[in-house]
Structure 1
Amino acid sequence: MTDHVTIARRYIELWNERTTSRRRELLSQNWTADASYVDPLMKGDGQDGIDALISGVQQRFPDFKFKLLGEPNGYGDHLRFSWGLGPDGADSPIKGTDFAVLRSITGFLDQVPAGA
């Protein structure tokens, strides 16, 4: 049985990891070589492409962190979870919901402030 909560937590941990070597290690442990990520603002293919996306988000929002919003849920190899991106201890100005088929992620941005 798939543990959707653990998978979502690992995903958030990956997006919050600032050390490149550790982030690459997490990618290799938890993502397939042909994994993909896409949302309305960006797309990345393979571990290199996904790592570049994460690095870009971290550079653009250096004081922000990802956090899970609510409980992840899923069925079989399908997973859905919501997340927030913002400063610690404050409401996240950026929010989204991701849907994964445990080898690719499609992100939907639920809230993005103007100019982000």
Structure 2
Amino acid sequence: MTANTDRYEHAVARYIEAWNAREPEAPAKAVAAVWAERGTYTDPFSDVRGHEEITAMIAAAHAQFPGFAFRLSSAVDGHHDTARFSWELVSEAGGPAPMAGSDVITLDAEGRITSVLGFLDRVPAGARLPLR
């Protein structure tokens, strides 16, 4: 494993942690630690910028999918300042993953996320999107 591979895996692990942060102040702190101040998140249903909007989007996901958590479902692959990986939204009680996708992230020199481009492979019927 190279230092660059560690960089990508560390960034993705912190990204997943931010999506799973639930305590009242935890999501905002996790987003501030993971994303650059002007970071962005874009997928087919959401297009948000900055810590406040990203935190609100994560909170909306928790409200819509209570009892679920994001988990990495692939290896992290990266080069230069870009990494890609797949994830699933899984029930903490067990059972199938109702939502899954792949994300491409871009990192700044400090390893913080400057952009996320998300692709949704599986979305449950009745999901309220966008998450804002």
* TM-score (normalizing by structure 1): 0.93
Name the structure, 1 or 2, with higher relative contact order (CA <8 Å, separation 6+): 2
One-letter code aligned to 2:88: G
Q: In the TM superposition, what is the alpha-carbon distance from 1:43 to its structure 2 partner?
A: 1.7
Q: Which residue does the alignment assign to 2:79?
A: 75
Question: Number of aligned pairs?
Answer: 116
Unaligned runs of 5+ in 2: 108-113, 128-132
Query: Letter of the aligned partner of 1:110 in structure 2?
Result: D
Following superposition, the deviation at residue 86 of structure 1 comes to: 2.1
- Give, in angstroms, the shift of residue 51 of structure 1: 0.2
Q: Secondary structure at the match of 1:115?
A: coil
% same residue = 36
- Give the AA of the match of 1:62: P
What is the root-mean-square deviation in Å for CA atoms of aligned residues? 1.2
Contact 1:99–1:105, Cα closer than 8 Å, also in 2 = yes
Kept in 2, the 8 Å contact 1:43–1:53? The answer is no
Partners of 2:33 and 2:25 lie apart in 1 by 12
Q: Given that residues 27 and 58 in structure 2 are in contact (C-alpha distance below 8 angstroms), is that contact kept between their aligned partners in structure 1? A: no
Q: Bigger radius of gyration, 1 or 2?
A: 2
Amino acid paired to 1:100: I
Alignment partner of 2:42 out of 21, 38, 41: 38
TM-score (norm 2): 0.82
